[in-house]
Chains A and B, each alone.
Chain A
Amino acid sequence: MSVTYLEAIRAAQEKALADDPRVFIYGQDVGAFGGAFKATKNLAAEFPGRVMDAPLSEDAIVGLAVGAAIEGARPIVEMQFADFSTVGFNQIVNQAATLYYRTDVPCPIVVRLPSGGTLGAGPFHSQSMEAIYSHYPGLVVMTPATVEDAYSMMLEAVSIDDPVIFCEHKLLYYHLKADKLPDVAQPAGKARIARAGRDATVVTYSAMLHESLQAAEDLVEEGWQIEVIDLRTVKPLDTDTVLASVARTGRMLVVGEAWPWGGVTAEVISRVATEGFGLLDAAPMRLNAKDTPVPYHPDLWAAHRPTATTVAARLRQLLTQ
């Protein structure tokens, strides 16, 4: 018996619906059809009237969630693909994210963003949008990389009083498996040392965790012990855990699937450079996708995003600097 990353997200939503009558799910095709990726499979039947198909209106879907949250509900809304959240962007960053600061009324909504590249998905079904949402005050941005986190962070996302952008990676949906759902949750907001090491620190999150872990494994036979940190949430960014690791290793590579300009990798390097400059034995490095739209062709896509091979290559540079 095993559970996938996608099943964990579905199970967490099922539990949230069962535990709290204030929770409802709203989004395109999430009802009887069960969602484009089946993240809400059977939930409409299980919870009549609480898992509803929405018109094709991302702005209005998020707007509805904000209004419902004002009235005490806890909506989970699904953007069919993270890329389409740009249409609901105004409601997310100007309505949901400002409500608590402006009015003292919290805005407990969860916006699910099926994120990241998959084979053949192309420019408009592949985007990683965590950085752009993290830029705005008033949002929590979760980027689970494991089945356990997908489950427990979704439950925490629903339970907290603030708007959460839940970046779930589509590449992990079916292939990433765990033996069972976790009994104990590690709270969001704290990073996790996914692999201990002494020679360099890789800071990463979401699907890039797995590429980075593979790279670390590949470098073992070359004699390197690489520490890998899974940020888990990119906002808040657990800078303390990163700094503590860099203090041990003296070298840091930051890996993200998103585009290079600004963004999470830039933010991590900025914080380590300003707060931990003296800990570094070499200039920090980073690895991102290339600065183009995400290409369709599998060969182009494979070269566009960081992979275990390119992470390992960048680490070799870092280690010999």
Chain B
Amino acid sequence: MVTTVKEKIRSREGADTDLSMRAFRIMLLARATEDKLAALYRAGMIKGGVFLGKGQEALSTASSIFLKKGDIFGPLIRDQAGRLAFGDTVLDTLRTYLGSAKGPMRGRDGNIHRGRPREGYYAMISHLGALVPVVAGGLYARRLRGETGVVGVTSIGDGGTSTGAFHEGVNLAAVERLPLVVVVANNQYAYSTPNNRQFACTDLLDKAAGYGIAGFKCDGTDPAACLETLHLAVQAAREGNGPQLVVATLLRLVGHGEHDDAGYVDAGLRKANVGRDCLEVGAQQLVEAGLATEADIAAWTKEAQAEVEKALNTAQREKGPDPEGENWRSISTEHLVDGHHDAEDE
């Protein structure tokens, strides 16, 4: 049941050139957004943490770029690129980090904990693995309504695969044969904990066989490989072949959050293939294929940076939420709101 991408796809002729360029420009935009977030964090302009996905843009973009309107995407921490590919905007990203009342979370939640669930863009909670059964549930409801051809994609890291929620969610999706693609970014460390303290199987892909689902493996630093693999996985799910597990190998090129200097990362890994910057690999692929010149890439980078500046300009002018105007209600049913917590309220 487990197949590696090498066996499944050999040739790259007929590769969608427009797709590779589109994906690369999303990667650039994500990188430009995150570079700005890091700068804002260092300048003390962001309250709370900043968690970046540097080095994971290729995999993240590929995770959602094959999704269509009506599909479901449940991104995780290092999915700035995938979020943008699914329709999130730089503006909403900055709004959420800066606490604008106009952002999708209205100041009620921040940073990576954002989404627009009505549009299939689910908002993660911090508990890893917890989103797996939720995306499965979204797909379950769609199927119950008679909708076919819907796909859900959710992300997890090497650390997240150790949670009970991940296990329960993937197993349930397998039992229900739901069109769920679970993308594992094995970035070698869960915060500071290396793979050898995280799991004892030879390869995380081995888990696919255990769950009775299809598995794909790819080099997460290689944008073309990520696109090919996710294309296959999403297509297989869409065609009714049940859950698909994608395991990509890469390295997080930043700390867990911007507060973390990642001094624990093995220097050898940084120099190895796994430590390549997918943006550099992607640029080289486009140039070698004759799809872009160095000058094109420099121009796109500038464009991405300009888009970020423009969004920042807008988000910075927007007001935060007003505590006086906040309704402080956690349920929607008027007659079941609990009162009497504080005599001053009465």
Binding site for B on A (CB under 8 A): 24, 49-50, 54-55, 57-73, 75, 87, 90-91, 94-95, 97-106, 137-140, 160-162, 187-189, 233, 235-237, 239, 271, 274-275
The CA-CA distance from A55 to B174 in the complex, in Å, is 10
Contact of A103 among B104, B136, B171 (CB under 8 A): B104
Complex contact B332–A95 (CB within 8 A) = no
B113 touches A65 (CB 8 A): no
Binding site for A on B (CB under 8 A): 104-106, 108-109, 113, 115-118, 122-123, 125, 127, 130-142, 144-145, 164-165, 168-169, 171-172, 175, 329-333, 335-340, 343, 346
Known: A72-B141, A102-B108. A63 touches B123 (CB 8 A): no
Measured between alpha carbons, how far is A255 from B115 in the docked complex, in Å?
A: 43
5 other A-B residue contacts (CB within 8 Å) besides A57-B168, A71-B138: A50-B144, A57-B171, A63-B169, A100-B331, A239-B340
- With known contacts A57-B172, A102-B109, A103-B123, A94–B141 Cβ distance under 8 A: no
Question: A99-B117, A140-B333, A140-B336 given as contacts; is B108 within 8 A of A63 (CB)?
Answer: no
Contact A64 B332 (CB under 8 A): no
Asked whether, in the complex, the Cβ of B165 is within 8 Å of the Cβ of A90, the reply is yes
Complex alpha-carbon distance, A207 and B118, angstroms: 40
Q: Complex: how many Å from CA A239 to CA B338?
A: 9
Contacting residues, chain B, for A58 (C-beta < 8 A):
168
Question: Closest 4 A-B residue pairs measured CB to CB?
Answer: A67-B137, A63-B133, A64-B137, A60-B168
Do A236 and B141 touch (CB < 8 A)?
no
Taking a contact as CB atoms under 8 Å apart, the answer to whether B127 and A94 are in contact is: yes
Residue of B nearest to A139 (CB): B331
A51 to chain B, nearest CB (A): 12
Establish whether residues B343 and A274, one from each chain, have CB atoms under 8 Å apart when the complex forms.
Answer: yes
- A138–B331 touching, CB < 8 Å: yes
| Contact status A100-B340, CB under 8 Å | no
CB contact between B336 and one of A91, A100, A236 (< 8 Å): that residue: A236
Residues in A neighbouring B144, C-beta threshold 8 A? 24, 49-50, 68, 73
Kindly list chain A residues whose C-beta atoms are within 8 Å of the C-beta of B141: 67-73
A68 and B137: CB pair below 8 A?
Answer: yes
From A134, which residue of chain B is reached at the shortest CB distance? B338
Please name all residues of chain B whose beta carbon is closer than 8 Å to the beta carbon of A233 when the two chains form the complex. 336
- Report the minimum CB–CB distance from A263 to chain B (whole Å): 15
Nearest residue (CB) in B for A65 is: B137
Question: How many angstroms from the CA of A99 to the CA of B109 in the assembled complex?
Answer: 11
Chain A, Cβ-Cβ closest to B337: A236
A65 to B133, CA, bound (A): 9
Q: Is the CB of A138 within 8 A of B330?
A: yes
A residues near B337, Cβ cutoff 8 Å: 236
Contact pick for A60, options B117, B169, B331, B335, CB 8 Å: B169
11 contacts between A and B (CB under 8 A): A55-B175, A60-B165, A64-B140, A66-B134, A66-B137, A67-B122, A67-B138, A70-B117, A94-B127, A103-B123, A104-B106
Instruction: Please pick, from A61, A91, A235, the residue contacting B130 in the complex, using a CB distance under 8 A.
Output: A91
Query: Which of B113, B135, B172 has a CB less than 8 Å from the CB of A102?
Result: B113
Determine whether the beta carbon of A160 is less than 8 Å from that of B136.
no
Q: Are B340 and A102 in contact (CB under 8 A)?
A: no
Q: Residues of B contacting A61 with CB < 8 Å? A: 133, 172
In the assembled complex, how far is the CB of residue B280 from the closest CB belonging to chain A, in whole angstroms? Answer: 36
Report if A95-B134 is in contact (Cβ < 8 Å); known contacts: A67-B139, A71-B142, A235-B338. yes
Complex-state Cα separation, A62 to B165, whole angstroms: 11
B133 contacts A67, CB within 8 Å?
yes
- Alpha-carbon separation in the docked complex, A91 to B25 (Å): 36
Interface pair A55/B336, CB less than 8 Å apart:
no
A320 to chain B, nearest CB (A): 30
> Measured between C-beta atoms, what is the minimum distance from A214 to chain B in Å?
29
The answer to whether A91 touches B133, judged by C-beta atoms less than 8 angstroms apart, is yes
Give the complex CA separation of A145 and B323 in angstroms. 39
Give Cα A271 to B346, complex, Å: 13
Which residues of chain A come closer than 8 Å to B131, judged between CB atoms? 63
Known: A103-B104, A237-B338. A94 touches B142 (CB 8 A): no
CB distance from A113 to the nearest CB of B (A): 18
Which residues in A have their C-beta under 8 angstroms from that of B108?
101-102
Contacts of A98 in B (CB 8 A): 125, 330
A72 vs B333: C-alpha distance in the bound complex, in angstroms?
16
A58 and B164 alpha carbons, distance in the complex (Å): 10
- Given A67-B138, A95-B125, A236-B338, also A103-B333 (CB < 8 A): no
A139–B115 alpha-carbon span in the complex (Å): 21
Inter-chain contact B332/A70, CB cutoff 8 Å: no
**A63 pairs with B130, CB closer than 8 A:** yes
> Which residues does chain B contribute within 8 Å of A103, judged by CB atoms?
104-105, 115-117, 123
Across-interface contacts of A239 in B (CB, < 8 A): 339-340
Is B172 touching A55 in the complex (CB atoms < 8 A)?
A: yes
Question: Is the pair B331, A189 in contact by a Cβ cutoff of 8 Å?
Answer: no
Q: Which residues of A contact B106 (CB under 8 A)?
A: 104
Q: Which of A94, A161, A274 contacts B333 (CB 8 A)?
A: A161
| Given the contacts A102-B113, A140-B333, A140-B336, A55 and B168 also touching, CB distance less than 8 Å | yes
What chain B residues lie within 8 Å of A104 (beta carbons)?
A: 106
Q: Could you say which residues of chain B place their CB within 8 Å of the CB of A100?
A: 330-332
- Contact across chains for B113 and A189 when beta carbons are under 8 A apart: no
Q: Is the CB of B133 within 8 A of A59?
A: yes
Give the CA-CA distance A71 to B145 in the complex, in Å.
10
Q: Are B332 and A90 in contact (CB under 8 A)?
A: no
Q: In the complex, what's the smallest C-beta–C-beta distance from B327 to chain A, in angstroms?
A: 10
CB-CB < 8 A to A70: which residues of B? 117-118, 122, 134, 137-138, 141
A121 to B131, CA, bound (A): 34
Specify the chain B residue showing the minimal Cβ separation from A90: B127
- From residue B212, how far is it (CB to closest CB) to chain A in Å? 12
Q: What B residues does A137 contact at CB under 8 A?
A: 330
